Amino acid sequence: MRLHYIDWLRVSAFAILILYHSSVAFFPDLSWLVSSPERSPELSLVMMFPRVWRLPLLFFVSGMGT
């Protein structure tokens, strides 16, 4: 039996992952491979929220897929 809400949770988790990693270049407190001279402390504060639960969510979704 396929649970479609798990599929949408997986899509949402990977969308958050892509958004998070594309915004890391603008964080003022991280030195990353690619950095921008335009830094955004507000973006860093907003992205601290998914920083806490994005990896456990990906592990949960991959476990549900198996």
Higher-confidence position of 19 and 36: 19
47: which 2 tokens?
Answer: 């992205």
DSSP per-residue codes, the chain: ---HHHHHHHHHHHHHHHHHHHHGGG-SS---SS--SS--HHHHHHHHHHHHHHHHHHHHHHHHH-
Contact 36, 28 (CB under 8 A): no
pLDDT digits (tens, 9 = 90+) for 16-34: 889 888 888 888 877 777 7
d(CA 24, CA 22): 6
Q: What is the pTM of this model?
A: 0.71
- How would residue 51 be classed by pLDDT, with cut points 50, 70 and 90? confident
